[in-house]
Structure 1
Amino acid sequence: MPRGEAKAQPKTSAGTRDFFIFLSSQTLSAVGNSISYVAIPLLVLRATGSVVQMGMITGLVSVATIVTGLFSGAVADRVNRRRLLIVCDLARALLFGAVPLIWAFSPQVWLLYVIVPVAGVFSMAAQVAYVTVTPSLVEADQITKANGRLYASYAVAGVLGPTLAGALSGVFGPAAVIAIDAATFVASAAGLYLLRWDGVPKPAEAPDAARRSFLSDFMVGLRFLGGHPVLRTLTILLSFLTFLTLGLIDIVVFHVKHDLGQPDSVVGVVLAAGTVGTLIASASVARVRGALGFGGSWIGAYALAGAVVAGLGLAANVALVAVLVSVFLFCTGIAGICSMSLRQEVTPDHLLGRVTSTFWTVHSTLGPIGAAVLTALAAKFGVGPVCLAIGGACLAIAAAGSFTPIGRRARPELSGSAE
């Protein structure tokens, strides 16, 4: 039987063969992402010395993902999702592989303004498709646990990637390190090819689905979000939180390099140590959500994150910065896993791509503006005042969430929604 026509495998637990292969593949992809996560800012900073340009590239990537969000959900709900993930991995391998080749002849910073956002297009499409996979591989009561394991693998990758990027960047330069990023995407694509999962959305779309416009598909996702009280509120509050935090890693890199005078290798160690927080979040999120409920987990996580970001503005040594980044990533890990699990629990499979891409697109809209504005403010007024302002705003948003359906509904996965 051709691979694309394979019968769907039964879903059991977060330990099945296909889930293990998917987990391994996503870990490799995450290693690549975490390498570029450090290497790209270091490449820009080494070439230009400007935190503003770092923020501009981050903002452009966010713009690219927002635009991609208008159609990536419809694509994920129409096509074979396994094949889509493979294409996205191979495309990113080619794009990032071009950077060290071109840098070997002459540094071309302008090229990053092209390659990195285009890679962001494929990253967004892959992220949307990735969210649709887990509910197809595991039972509903295993979703949060499975997402926790995926986040745990990302945490391991998050330790390995920045450590490698920082150490190797100091020896070979950040451009050469990006070649490793490209190789991990090739390996990830190979793993996805081994899946027995057929990748076809269930139930299949109606025969006239191909004639619908991407805008109408986007509106389907928007109507679903608008009809679910908790998802609607999450989308609104996360819009402001994304504005505040999208450029935060750029600010941390600038703080460690510029204010604390540390080399590339230390930047890698700080960010690698920070991802320990993600690992702890992934291991504890199921218990935290079980004890506090969705609202308590999400609101509490962002309240603590606000206090931590404010503390980053006062951190005067590398060890404290690493600890605070770790706690911040713990908070965003708890909130992010709970949010993704909730969407997977309440959204029908054939709508999951559109709902996911619409959710991310809408709440990411303010991100590019925030990344550009806040990194510019950090360059002008210093990291301390900017982090204090960001932290205070995050605390205010978390407090406001207590008076919304997020804080009032103990079991939002049982709430009604409209298609």
Structure 2
Amino acid sequence: MAMAAASDPLPDLLVAIPVVIILCTLGARLVRRAGQPPVVGEMAVGLLLGPSFLGWLWPGAQAWLFPPSALPYLGLLGNLGLLVFMFLVGHELRIGSLVTQTGTAALVSMASVVLPLGLGTLLALGMYGSFAPEGVARLPFVLFIAVAMSITAFPVMARILADRGMDRTRVGALALACAAFDDVTAWCLLAGVVAVSTAGSPAEALTTALLAVGFALLMGGVLRPLLARLAARAGRASTDGRVLVLLFSGLCLSALTTDLIGVHALFGAFVFGAVTPRGNPVIEDQAARLRAFAVPLLLPLFFVTTGLRADVSLLAADPVQWLWAGAVLVVAVVAKWGGGAGAARLSGQSWRDAMSIGALMNCRGLTELIVLNVGLGLGVIGRDLFTILVLMALATTVVTSPALNRIRRGMRDGEERRPEEAPAGTRPPEGARAAGAVPAP
């Protein structure tokens, strides 16, 4: 009995969970006052609680706060919050609006994906010998780094634009349309990378990819109309917890399906969110209830598990590692910022608007952390490269708001808020502000 009591992780979790939640909340509020999106504070808290700071400064305190017996459960709860987050991201995206993008949005979207993929591929080829874990083939490693370079955080960008009052301007609407396209593209590419990484042969990878496509078609062609009919019924019925149970169960079962297919559970939750009907008051109310619980209470646990996996000390002993970290940051900024700004300029945007779009497309935030944790979990990257990429994600997110301040400083008073500037097809959908609040990043 004494041994059973000693191994019970519950007391440890009852200490660690509130500490993490409170510190992440304080960190988010602190950076918000400095003009940064809250996700910057949450990412920073995760790193500070990990071996990069607390584990280096006071190892005993970190071991007491995060004992080995509690770590699997913290990761489990954080991943559960992550599944809800992915459902909410999919639900906030207006897939239909991507088809009606203007020529400018389409060009910027393609450039901000293709250029990072290309430069990321070249970077990964150079890094393979130094950073690929033992036994990892060149193809999955290169594909993963290329995808990691192409990430844009749609929810974080939406939050930044809403906070600045730019979400209804031409520039903000254009950036949101591009980020939405990038978000969908990134998750599809990541699903492909997971399929290649986990398959034992090209035939298995192809089978996994076909099953994933079939799953997405089935969800859109069969489940979406069914959910629409159920939502219409719910709109006429009294509101209770049945819709909430349906949404949560649906996202879990969808995540399980894609996990069994071999393209990661996050993809299933994202697709389920994308096919869930929008605009129904009951659906939106229950989705808001999911957000109100999972985002402030469960998602911080994901940040701290990410911070526990990153270790800056792995880089400190080798100056060459820092040179590679600098190379990663340069490629990330040139590829996303340069690609987005260059394409916007070629499509006729002013230099100021083009640079603003590029700065926004360079924001990576929580989306990048999700992708990096998938790569680490698959074993495609090791902790040293994981740490480098986490630092890149933090740096590119931190620089977004100050860069916008500098770029937009010369604008005339009131120019930011003219909704008539947003042309048809590029206006953000209703709920774009809510999309920014999905993770509150």
TM-score after normalising by structure 2: 0.26
TM-score after normalising by structure 1: 0.27
Counting helix residues as a fraction of each chain, which structure ranks higher?
1
Task: Give 1 or 2 for the bigger CA radius of gyration.
Answer: 2
